[in-house]
Amino acid sequence: MKENKFCQSCAMPLNLGGQDVRGTEKDDSPSLKYCSYCYQKGQFLDPEITFEEMLKRGRAGIASGKGNPIMKWLIQSSYPVTLKKVERWKGRSQHSL
């Protein structure tokens, strides 16, 4: 199985500022797909979250993170398109951008 660079649920980098933020599988091995904010012990922490809720959560995380305000604005602006490309949301119908 291919190891992803971005969480396939929220699109956050799995290596954030040099820190491994991967979630865990049932056997406590690191997940190759998901971050620890979305996935632990082999299951999603919020399995019923909608695309719109994930979009709101991701944008809030970007806004509260460290970094250049212009870069953060650019990332927030492109986040809906990026989020649509990850495995969890790919091909699903979303209502907002």
**Residues 48 and 73: beta-carbon distance below 8 Å:** no
pLDDT along the chain (97 residues), means of 10: 88 93 97 97 97 97 92 95 96 56
pLDDT at 96: 44
> For the chain, what are the domain ranges?
15-85
pTM for the model: 0.87
Q: What is the pLDDT of residue 17?
A: 85
Quick count: other Cβ atoms within 10 Å of Cβ 23? Answer: 23
- pLDDT the model gives residue 1: 62
In whole angstroms, give the CA distance from residue 29 to residue 43.
13
Tell me the pairing of strands 39-40 and 43-44: antiparallel
How do 39-40 and 15-16 pair as beta strands?
A: unpaired
Predicted confidence at residue 97, as pLDDT, reads 42
Distance CA 70, CA 76 (A): 10
